[in-house]
Structure 1
Amino acid sequence: MIASLVAITALCLHVAGVFAATHAVMHTRTAQGAFAWVLGLVLLPYVTLVPYLFLGASHFGGYVDLHRQRQARFFMLHEEALHRGRLGLLAHAAPVRDARYDAVGRMLQTAMHGGNALFLHVDGEAAFAAMFAAIGRAERYVLVQFFIIHDDVLGRRLRDALLERAAAGVEVCLLYDSIGSHALDDGYVDRLRAGGVLVRRFATRRWRNRFQLNFRNHRKVLVVDGIRGFVGGLNAGDEYLGKKPPLAPWRDTHMEIEGPAVADLQRVFAEDWYWVTGQRPPSSPPPERCGRAATMIVATGPADRQESCSLFFTQAIQAATKRVWITTPYFVPDQAVFGALRLAVFRGVDVRILMPCRPDHRTVFMASTLYAHEATLAGIRMFRYRQGFLHQKVMLVDDDTAVVGSMNLDNRSFRLNFEIAALNVDEAFAASVEAMLEDDFANSDEVNPNDYRRLSYLRRVALHVARLFDPIL
């Protein structure tokens, strides 16, 4: 009887595995990912069926429709602004053209805006001091979005700052990711709501989001009164201030924008907020001109028709004629990005990648180690930051372009997460980013191809096995 029950259970699991494998063939975004899932689901359904429930979904409906409707409407308004700019009626509102990044703008149906003032904030103390100061000056509304919020010292400082503004009559909207902030205590949220703050969790699938680890909203955005915006790699938790060993000190970067580009930060937040609430958050026109920098807000995600994050990196790398310096906590590039990096080397471009020397996710760290070795063989200079955990997501292209945002060089950012970055064309801002990265490289050790050869055979096998998990890292 028991043997029969086991046999029936095994048969049912294998049948379910075949159906799940068919689903994977039809919907997984890459051939490599589909092959990996099919192999596991058909041969080992006892092991892979549950992970596939969490990690296998590759599309969703309602958010995609909303996203594409917004893009179509923005494209219409963008064309109208261009037309009026040519007529001289709204010349100040016309987008800035930069041939190197036009393809990115057309892909995302967004634009580059001139007249922005940019401020670089190195590490958490400086960034959160600026953000709390901006929140404290808010007069009309505050829009806040983080992937992770913790109920710790920094998280409570954020809570109290938002409650203070809400008590002053300012409209406050807070959006956090339901998986990234899964440990956030209900009491934290209840206190915010009781104080008048509008708080919601982001979820692409409302009815089964707790079983869905893909499609996380990894964006970090703050907008105050439509005048000032912040974007970068920091979340709201004590570890982002370097207060939690063993990863302390924590190395990260955020930036502040004043000017027309803040409108696009608002638009990205509004799209996510509308999906969750069915309502539009407050908004207002940004200042026409606060500085001289040109900025394009690059918002990517799995709702895009193209693999927009990967293509964005590819285009930015291809635009380089002098250098490409990239800092990322996870170096697991796809073939398009890795190919663009190698071709840049052959063009004589100074290509450098800065990674952490301490792991926060061991499998990703092992896969990154193998990719770093292969990159050195292609002439890419790889560095490991030794002064704590490096979490910043920054790219410097030539002498005038700097990107700061939430995007990692891994499959999750390329295809599965909602990400955001500011692409800035301004020599002064790029010079400040260059100085910051020069300090980072000075506190790093360069990877040598012989480092891999010195590893034991079993250790090298482990690195190759870790890389097999590329599609879900």
Structure 2
Amino acid sequence: MIDWNYILNQVATVAFDIIYFGAIIGTIVVIILDNRNPVKTLAWILVLMFLPVVGLVFYFFFGRSRRRERIIGQKIYNRLLNKPMVEYLAQDATTLPMAYSRLISLFRNTTQAFPFDGNRIEIYTNGGSMLQSLLRELQNARQHIHIEFYIFEDDAIGRMVRDVLVEKARAGVEVRLIYDDVGCWHVPNRFYDEMLSAGIEVRSFLKVRFPLFTSKVNYRNHRKIVVIDGRVGFVGGMNLAERYMRGFSWGIWRDTHLLLEGKAVHGLQTAFLLDWYFVDRTLISASRYFPKMEATGTSLVQIVTSDPIGPWKEIMQGLSMAISGAKKYFYIQTPYFLPTEQILAAMQTAALAGVDVRLMLPMRADNRLTHLGSCSYLADILQAGVKIYFYKKGFLHSKLMVSDDELSTVGSTNVDFRSFEHNFEVNAFIYDTETALQMREIFLQDQRDCVQVFLKNWVKRPWWRKAAESVVRLMAPLL
């Protein structure tokens, strides 16, 4: 007698195996044919081979590349760039620094980042001073406020800023707000509803309605931008949350943020309005959002953006070129250090050539897994002569870099795969000796609150710690 139940079970098992292994092999083929960075390709293949079920889920959420997808049409892009281009061309024979002419050209060619002169810059190294300045400038708004943060928390700080925005909106000021949906996942909807009811236009970036069934989770807007009346702007590493102001029980929150006043604000305005078109499909390009301005300072500034959509990795390419072009020194502050091969090679090459390359990281980070991965790279650069410092006063979240008393940059970009390849980021690149000297002094002041790492001691770490770091490093392109 034929046991049909047994036969059906066997057929079902074979069918499942064929589908299951077919999905794994098919996904691996897709990854290989995508022609990505070999390191990233191998990382995904390892995940799929050793953790097949988990690997498939993670690849569906975080692995699929969207760099070839166009979200903003070229005509829309050109219309938004028209106003800042006119202001740029109207500048009186701006003299570009010869040492950075190629870097400036790189940003012009990849992101249409116009170098604007005559800007005034204020630097903030703690959340309290930045918040005080932000509230003051928001109160002074007369026409419009454009505000964009990765995190806009429903806490004492967030509510303080929200109340000012509501007050200005009720007074007739146009207020537009973009928050990242993943960065603000746990913020209750009523927090934004109160702003909507007051007349503020509020939009979430890449809203994730069904987290378990979308890859949008991987593409986040990490930018921090404020533009007030098209004349004053803020950019940097700070979000709107209490911890950015008060720190933790175990230490301060050390960050860096900038106020910009001058034509460089056009770059921030363009970045915001491109994001606004992305979330609202409304093109805003009227001249009143790009007012004519006289020089307010002496700094030459480029606002540089990067995203996972286009063909280039703009900020990563720029940093690689800047590090390679350093003559005397290049100092870096970053909370996470999971560098691409280009950045790692640039740092090692510069240090081996005699450039004073210094890297500052937090001794204690807010993400243990990422910190383990960061530590796995340190021996590589210590051997090349890079000096490494662990900041011990609290959590170092600053994304500050300075070189040769001429170039400095502050923004939202971390030195890691996520910032370089997956996030929407923005940095101000400043070509100005006075600002660079201020940034250098900030770095050296922070260095006094650090402990230096030496290779002879670093290699003596416990074997289990090295093993954990190495395992996490394999996944670095995916973190």
The verdict on a shared fold, with TM-score over 0.5 as the criterion, is yes
Deviation of the 1:159 alpha carbon:
1.0
Say whether 1:398 aligns with 2:401. Answer: no
User: Normalization by structure 2: what TM-score?
Assistant: 0.90
Structure 1 match to 2:310: 304
- Alpha-carbon separation, structure 1, partners of 2:259 and 2:214: 33
Q: In the TM superposition, what whole-angstrom CA distance separates every residue of 1:354-380 from its partner, at most 9, and x where no partner exists?
A: 000002112211111121222111100
Seen in structure 2, the aligned counterparts of structure 1 residues 204 and 152 have a Cα distance that, compared at 3 Å, is closer
Q: In the TM superposition, what whole-angstrom CA distance separates every residue of 1:151-209 from its partner, at most 9, and x where no partner exists?
A: 11111112111111111110000001111111111010111101111100111899988
Correspondence list, 1:399-438, <5 A: 399-438=405-444
Q: 1:253 aligns with which of 252, 256, 272?
A: 256
CA contact 1:27–1:59 (8 Å) conserved in 2: no
Q: 1:460 aligns with which of 420, 442, 466?
A: 466
Seen in structure 2, the aligned counterparts of structure 1 residues 133 and 472 have a Cα distance that, compared at 3 Å, is same
Deviation of the 1:229 alpha carbon:
0.3
Structure 2 match to 1:26: 33
Deviation of the 1:337 alpha carbon:
0.8
- Alpha-carbon separation, structure 2, partners of 1:410 and 1:43: 24
Range 265-274 or range 353-362, more displaced: 353-362
Structure 2 match to 1:183: 186
Say whether 1:360 aligns with 2:366. Answer: yes
Q: 1:220 aligns with which of 220, 224, 231?
A: 224
Deviation of the 1:40 alpha carbon:
3.0
Say whether 1:376 aligns with 2:379. Answer: no
- Alpha-carbon separation, structure 1, partners of 2:81 and 2:154: 40
Moved beyond 6 Å, runs of 4+: 74-82, 204-209
Larger Rg: 2
Q: In the TM superposition, what whole-angstrom CA distance separates every residue of 1:419-445 from its partner, at most 9, and x where no partner exists?
A: 101011122211221221111001001
Correspondence list, 1:212-361, <5 A: 212-246=216-250, 248-281=251-284, 283-361=289-367
Deviation of the 1:301 alpha carbon:
1.2
- Alpha-carbon separation, structure 2, partners of 1:23 and 1:93: 50
- Alpha-carbon separation, structure 2, partners of 1:347 and 1:408: 25
Range 339-348 or range 434-443, more displaced: 339-348
Q: In the TM superposition, what whole-angstrom CA distance separates every residue of 1:63-86 from its partner, at most 9, and x where no partner exists?
A: x2416555556777787777xx5x
CA contact 1:95–1:112 (8 Å) conserved in 2: no
CA contact 2:273–2:283 (8 Å) conserved in 1: yes
Range 405-414 or range 286-295, more displaced: 286-295
- Alpha-carbon separation, structure 2, partners of 1:47 and 1:305: 29
Seen in structure 2, the aligned counterparts of structure 1 residues 6 and 329 have a Cα distance that, compared at 3 Å, is farther
Say whether 1:133 aligns with 2:139. Answer: no
- Alpha-carbon separation, structure 2, partners of 1:188 and 1:13: 44
Unaligned runs of 5+ in 1: none
Q: In the TM superposition, what whole-angstrom CA distance separates every residue of 1:249-304 from its partner, at most 9, and x where no partner exists?
A: 10101001000010010000000100110113472325231111100001111123
CA contact 1:93–1:288 (8 Å) conserved in 2: no
Kindly provide the amino acid, as one letter, of the partner of residue 437 in structure 2.
Answer: A
- Alpha-carbon separation, structure 1, partners of 2:68 and 2:466: 42
Structure 1 match to 2:62: 55
Correspondence list, 1:435-446, <5 A: 435-446=441-452
Deviation of the 1:227 alpha carbon:
0.6
Q: In the TM superposition, what whole-angstrom CA distance separates every residue of 1:306-356 from its partner, at most 9, and x where no partner exists?
A: 121210111111231111001000111111111111121133211100000
- Alpha-carbon separation, structure 1, partners of 2:434 and 2:109: 26
Kindly provide the amino acid, as one letter, of the partner of residue 476 in structure 2.
Answer: D
- Alpha-carbon separation, structure 2, partners of 1:276 and 1:68: 17
- Alpha-carbon separation, structure 2, partners of 1:183 and 1:129: 26
Deviation of the 1:126 alpha carbon:
0.7
Report SS of the residue matched to 1:99.
Answer: helix
Say whether 1:92 aligns with 2:99. Answer: no
Q: In the TM superposition, what whole-angstrom CA distance separates every residue of 1:61-115 from its partner, at most 9, and x where no partner exists?
A: 66x2416555556777787777xx5xxxx34386856515222322322221101
Kindly provide the amino acid, as one letter, of the partner of residue 416 in structure 2.
Answer: D
Say whether 1:148 aligns with 2:165. Answer: no
- Alpha-carbon separation, structure 1, partners of 2:121 and 2:201: 29
Seen in structure 2, the aligned counterparts of structure 1 residues 175 and 210 have a Cα distance that, compared at 3 Å, is farther
CA contact 1:310–1:337 (8 Å) conserved in 2: yes
- Alpha-carbon separation, structure 2, partners of 1:226 and 1:73: 17
Report SS of the residue matched to 1:375.
Answer: helix
Structure 1 match to 2:19: 12
Seen in structure 2, the aligned counterparts of structure 1 residues 206 and 259 have a Cα distance that, compared at 3 Å, is farther
CA contact 1:74–1:110 (8 Å) conserved in 2: no
Kindly provide the amino acid, as one letter, of the partner of residue 240 in structure 2.
Answer: A
Report SS of the residue matched to 1:92.
Answer: coil
Deviation of the 1:60 alpha carbon:
5.9
Kindly provide the amino acid, as one letter, of the partner of residue 178 in structure 1.
Answer: D
Kindly provide the amino acid, as one letter, of the partner of residue 271 in structure 1.
Answer: L
Report SS of the residue matched to 2:364.
Answer: coil
Structure 1 match to 2:162: 159
- Alpha-carbon separation, structure 1, partners of 2:118 and 2:31: 46
Report SS of the residue matched to 1:213.
Answer: helix
Say whether 1:385 aligns with 2:391. Answer: yes
Q: How many residues align?
A: 465
